[in-house]
Each structure stands twice: as structure tokens, then as C-alpha cells.
Amino acid sequence: MTHTTVTVETGALRGHIRADGVRSFLGVPYAAPPVGELRWRAPRPAHSWSGVRDALRFGPAAPQAAPPSNSLYFGGEAEFSEDCLTLNVWTPRAGTGPRPVLVWFHFGAYQFGSAANPMYDGERLARSGCVVVTVNHRLGRLGFLAHPALSAESEYGASGNYGLLDQIAALQWVQRNIAAFDGDPGDVTIGGVSAGANSVHVLRASPLAVGLFHKAIAHSGPGLARDLEGPGHPAGVQTLAAGEAAGTEIMETLGARDPAAMRALSPHQIDAVLLPRAHGSWNFDLAPGAEVSLHLFDGAYPLIDGHVLLESPMRAYQSGRIHDVPFLLGDVGNEASGLPYLPTLSAYREHLRATFGDAADRAWELYPASDNGGARSASWDLEADRIFNWSTWAAARSHEAGCVSPLWHFRFLRRPPIAPADDVIEASYAGAFHGSDVLYAFGALERARPSWAWEDADRDLSAAMMSSLVNFVATGDPNGDGVPAWPTFDRRTPSTMRWNVGIEVGETGYDAEKMALLDDLNGWTA
């Protein structure tokens, strides 16, 4: 493998030349390390260097509690540091630009993951003509902690959302530097999966992102839901007041009197705090039988801060105050695969009462259970719809109703050949698991999961999905060579591209009564 160099605003970079002339530049700083006094501050410009800087390996991931190594959601991360604001670029052979650009944000509920996950390896998409950028950003409480004192010391009078400000800084870096990689700064698509897709929803609603992208892709994106006054959750966004209240509790629990004392603590000390109000009896299959808490969502999720977000993404979508760009979005057959579940019938009934209030009986009729095993399945089904499927359905309907730009919707239904030894979730249950579609869309089957028994049908499906993705990034329309005709979405007669062994356009498969229940829960109106 030979080397190549480019020069960006902060200095020269040495990258690799890969197959078919594709070049990769890994671990490129786009902002200054957010350490010491820069912890919980908006990102600052990256430092310059002299000579040629190696860009041959991924930068460290943000501090986090990574999933087990045999989890579907483990990305191979081994090095963690607060000095994590780096990105990676894959680009076609030199002199072939300007090329359309895809900027991709990773999954992980804003708690874990990184841009180094091999499922986002951009080599094959770059070979097809795109410049691909993947982005690390701050996670957890280091990325989203709010507090009145932090708000007071900021130049914009708010706190939290540092991870989102990192993403915006990365997009600004792309505008200033991507031409050096033969990318076109006037033709940028943002995309992501799960929390990365939530980032897409947020960026579409953020006034700070004006002019930074021109198309958008959201795979399994949560975040279109009612505003929350209490603890954060991936189904919605918190108000700044709620975030500051959580941050105050965290600081008090840690015995920290001010931001300086907080900045003296380690990331582990900060993330280890359990707030009593967030304890619960949810179980995760990625930690079999363990009681877990959703405590990290206190002080670790996007906020309506009056700066990055003036309103919730749902309100922005419904009001038409989103950036009007071509949009491609969808979800998978089993969005519940990465979610916690309630292990007892009594806990499930209590969850319905707490979530739906007077509509709890209606929710029970649509998501019934008769015993503890049924409660597990029902809570999985409910949360998959509430967090992922409904959010995608609401975004599709709102965009189609309020935007001029076209929209394409998909459902990914292929069950990958999961190797049981590689996953703690039972392979028979996981099916078309949360995030599995990205393996196919990036052409990363063998690279990300070399031990799985991939079939020609998987490779053919991957080739079609890659073609649609490249077409969309290049033209704003997924149709073209290698893809069956894909009609734009119409909320009156909704259809979807059903990605499976037999690729076809068909019905979305959403249950109308369940979606109507969730419309009412979230105050969504057509």
C-alpha cells in the first residue's frame, strides 16, 4: 500500500492509496482537543502542524462504555480519549473531482460508537465515485451535559449539545477543506444511522447548519417526539431547563461546586454517577439478566438550547422550519434488537401507565401481554415503534407535506447470516436488526463481519443498495442503473422500497392503529 499527501488548512497529511486508486486519510483533526478548560465548551479551531502529519490510522474514540466485543453493536474500538475530534476521508483517485460528498454520523445513542466502525468503511463507496467522510464527536455527559454555570460562561448563554456543535464544526471543516480531497463543498449529503440519523433530524432543524449540506439520509432515526421536561430519552429531546436540572443533580452527587471542579474529574467519574430518579427494571440482552438504568440519558442527550436547536425536530418538521433538501429515510424489520425490554408483566403495565396515561388501556390492546415472556416481547415491539418506526413515519409524512424537495422511503427486511458466536442477542431473534442495513449500503459485509456466511443474495442486495446510495449522493435521486424503479413517497398512498432478497416496491407495513396511538402520544397532527 503506497502513500499520498494532501494539504488542508492546518498542514499536510499523509494517507494511503488503496484498491483502484482510492485514497484514505484517517484520524484528521477538525477541531482542537476539547480537554482541560475546553471541556464543555464549543469546539475551537484545530491546531496547525509543521511537516507532514500521518493520517494512516483512526483517531481514538470518545470516552464511553463500549458494548461487549461479541455484540452486534461493538465497532472494534480499543483506544479512547477526550482528544477525539477527528474525521476520516475516503476519496477516489487524485484529479477526478469535484466529487459529491457523503458525511456520515455513527450510531450509539450518543453514548458509544465511533467513526472507525468497519461497517462505515468508505472505500467501496469512494470506488463508486463519492467522497466519504466519517466523524467522531463527543459522547455521553462529556458531549451533552448542561448546567446553569456552564450556560453562564458560554458566549451564547446555553450549555449542552457539545457533540452536536462538534458535528457542525466537522461540516464547516468540510466546507473549507474537502476540495483538497477532490470533493465538492457545494454538493454535501449528511447521513447517519440511529443516533447518527437523529443528528440528521437535528441538523435539518438547526439554524447553525444553514448551507452546510444539500441532501440528507436517515437510517432508523429516532428523535421526532414530544418535548421532555424530565429525564432525557432517545425518543425525544429535553428542554434546556430539564438538562440543567439533571446537570445540577449530577454535580451535586459528585460533590463538585463549579465547572472547574467538574473539569478536574475523570470521564469515568462523571459517567458513573447514578441518579435515583432514573433507576428502573429494564433489561438488556447485551448484558443478560442484568438490571440496568437509563441514567446516562440524564445529561447526555440533545437539548432545545436556543442556539443549536430553537425547537424540537418534530415541531420544526411539522411547521416546515427544516432545511428543505432531498431526503432518503427508512428503517429495518426489527428495530427492537438493540433496545432494553421489561422482564415482568407488572413492570410492563406500569410502563404503559407512565408513558400513555389515560391511553394506557388503548396501548395495552395494541401491545398485549399475558405473562412475563409476553411482556418482554410486547415491550420490545412497543419501544421499537415508539422510538424508531413512528419517528421515521412522522418524518416522512411531515417532509412530504411541507417540503418542495422529494423524499424516498425504505424498509430493510433482509435477515443477515449472523454467526451466533459473534453476538449475545439470539440470532433467531435479531433478524433484520437495528443498523444491519448500513452493512449493505456501505458494501461492508465481509469487511465488518468476515466470519458470517454471506451469500450471493446478500452481495447482490448490497450492490443494489450501494447503487441507490451513490445515485442519491450524486444526484439527489436514488434511481438509476442497478436499482429497481423507486417512486417518491406520497403520504396519501404511501409506498416503500422493500430491501430484501426480492427487492420490490410495496406497502410500508406500519400498523395504522399503532401509528395513530403514537401520533396522539406525541401530539402529531397531519
Q: How far apart are CA 121 and CA 447, in angstroms?
A: 8
The pLDDT assigned to 341 comes to 85
Q: What is the pLDDT of residue 297?
A: 58
pLDDT in tens, 445-476: 999 999 999 999 999 999 999 999 999 999 99
HEC profile for 111-136? CCCCCCCHHHCCHHHHHCCCEEEEEC
Q: Give CA angle at 282 (280, 286), nearest 5°.
A: 135
284 pLDDT band, cuts 50/70/90, is low
Give the CA-trace dihedral at 290, 295, 301, 307, to 10 degrees: 180
Asked if the peptide bond before residue 100 counts as cis, ω within 30 degrees of 0, the response is: no
Are 124 and 18 in contact, with CB atoms under 8 Å apart? no
Work out the average pLDDT over 176-180: 98
Q: Domain span at residue 487? A: 333-525
Q: Would 293 be classed as within a structural domain?
A: no
Residue 132 has pLDDT above 90, yes or no: yes
Q: pLDDT tens digits for 357-379?
A: 999 999 999 999 999 999 999 99
Output the domain CATH number for residue 382.
3.40.50.1820
Q: How confident is the model at residue 273 (pLDDT cuts 50, 70, 90)?
A: confident
Q: How far apart are the first and last CA of the chain?
A: 54
Cα gap 469→217, rounded to integer Å: 9
Mean pLDDT in the chain?
91
Higher confidence at residue 480 or residue 232?
Answer: 480
- 355 and 501 fall within a common domain: yes
Cα separations (Å) of 111 from 107, 144, 343, 371?
A: 9, 10, 23, 32
For residue 263, being part of any structural domain is answered with: no
Pairing of strands 99-105, 86-91: unpaired
The domain boundary, picked from 311, 344, 363, lies at: 311
The predicted structure's pLDDT at residue 295: 46
159 within domain boundaries: yes
pLDDT > 80? residue 298: no
Residue 401 inside a domain? The answer is: yes
Residue 257 lies in a domain: no
Is 345 a member of any domain?
yes
pLDDT for residue 229 is more than 60:
no
CB atoms under 10 Å from CB of 179, counted, come to 18
Output the pLDDT for position 248: 94
Q: Are residues 483 and 350 in the same domain?
A: yes
In this predicted model, what pLDDT tens digit does every residue of 163-176 receive, in sequence order? 999 999 999 999 99
Write down which residue in 245, 279, 311 finishes a domain. 311
| 263, 279, 311 - which closes a domain | 311
Copy the grid coordinates of residue 381: 415491539
pTM of the model: 0.95
Question: Looking at residue 483, what is its pLDDT?
Answer: 87
Answer yes or no: is pLDDT of 36 > 80. yes
Overall average pLDDT of the 480-505 stretch: 93
- Please state the domain count of the chain: 2
Domain assignment present for residue 52? The answer is yes
Give 422's pLDDT tier (boundaries 50, 70, 90). low
Q: Are 423 and 510 in contact (CB under 8 A)?
A: no
Query: What is the reported pLDDT for 285?
Result: 54
Helix (H, G, I), strand (E, B), or coil: what is residue 490?
Answer: coil
- 209 and 356, same domain (yes or no): no
Evaluate whether residue 456 is within a structural domain.
yes
